[in-house]
Structure 1
Amino acid sequence: MSLKEKLQEDLKSSMKNKDTVKKSVVTLIRASIKQYEVDNRVELEDDEIIDLIAKQLKQRRDSLVEFQKANRDDLVSETEAEIEVLKEYLPQQLSEEELNEIVKSTISEVGATSMKDMGKIMAAIKPKTKGRADGKLINELVKNNLQ
């Protein structure tokens, strides 16, 4: 079953179960897929849909930090619930240890020695961790390993 079909089925089941959070998140995912397909006149594959979902997850995480700073507990809990729904559609996330190993091996592959090589490292890591890790965490681990 393709990711589009899974999203369609999940939308139906969330409507039947009156799961408003899941329904709204799935609706937003499907709308962003449709918008991208119409704008670019392409049919998205599962890996491209995963990229769109990862982008939405990043947006929610960024919003969550701002809501926490503003002490908006109502929005914090709602955003956390949305994040959990989005995670269901992404591949299994890498643990920090697994990610650290990928970072170390990539640094040695690229032959990086200083922070000047940060761009090369990030470009080499991105395909290995596509949709399975947060970019900020990868960035931190690269910085820690280069110091």
Structure 2
Amino acid sequence: MTLKQQLTDDMKAAMKGGDKDRLGVIRLVLAAIKQREVDERIELDDAAVLAVLEKMVKQRRDSVSQYEAAAREDLAAVERYEIGVIDAYLPAKLDESAILAHIDAAIASTGATGPADMGKLMGVLKPALAGQADMGQVSALIRKRLAG
């Protein structure tokens, strides 16, 4: 079953179950997916749907930090709930040692030696770690690994 189909089925289940909060979040996700499909005139595969989900989680994390800075805990709680619902559709995150193993394999395969090869490494790692790791964290670990 594709991720989009799973979202649609979960939307129907939330409707039947009367879970209005979850239903709202799933509808937001499906609307974002549909918007991207219409804009780009393509049918999104699971990888592209994961990219949409990751972007939505990132936006909500940014919102949470802004709401907390403005002392709006009520709004931050709503965003955290949405993050929880969206995270359920993302693959499990890799721990730091697994990410480092991927980085080491990429360094070996590309022959990267210094910070100038950062782009080459990110080009190899981004598709491999899509949805499984925060690319900001990956970037920081690559810098640390290439520095010494």
- Shared fold, TM over 0.5: yes
Q: What amino acid is the match of 2:68? A: Q
How far apart, CA to CA, are the structure 2 residues paired with 1:136 and 1:100? 14
User: What's the counterpart of residue 24 of structure 1?
Assistant: 24
Using the aligned pairs only, state the percent identity: 39
1:117 aligns with 2:88: no
Structure 1 residues 13 and 142: alpha-carbon distance in aligned structure 2, compared to 1, 3 A threshold? same
Q: What does residue range 1-147 of structure 1 map to in structure 2 within 5 Å?
A: 1-147=1-147
> Tell me, what secondary structure is at the counterpart of 1:16?
helix
1:75-122 deviation line (CA, Å, top 9, x unaligned): 222211111111111122211221121112212322222222111111
Q: What amino acid is the match of 1:71? A: A
Structure 1 residues 68 and 140: alpha-carbon distance in aligned structure 2, compared to 1, 3 A threshold? farther
Q: What amino acid is the match of 2:38? A: V
Q: What amino acid is the match of 1:51? A: A
How far apart, CA to CA, are the structure 2 residues paired with 1:140 and 1:112? 16
Calculate the TM-score normalised by the size of structure 2: 0.88
Q: Which runs of 5+ in 2 are unaligned?
A: none
How far apart, CA to CA, are the structure 1 residues paired with 2:57 and 2:114? 31
How far apart, CA to CA, are the structure 2 residues paired with 1:75 and 1:102? 37
Structure 1 residues 142 and 36: alpha-carbon distance in aligned structure 2, compared to 1, 3 A threshold? same
How far apart, CA to CA, are the structure 2 residues paired with 1:119 and 1:106? 12
How far apart, CA to CA, are the structure 1 residues paired with 2:145 and 2:26? 38
Provide the aligned length of Structure 1 versus Structure 2. Answer: 147
How far apart, CA to CA, are the structure 2 residues paired with 1:102 and 1:77? 34
Q: What amino acid is the match of 1:67? A: Y
Q: What amino acid is the match of 1:55? A: K
Q: Which runs of 5+ in 1 are unaligned?
A: none
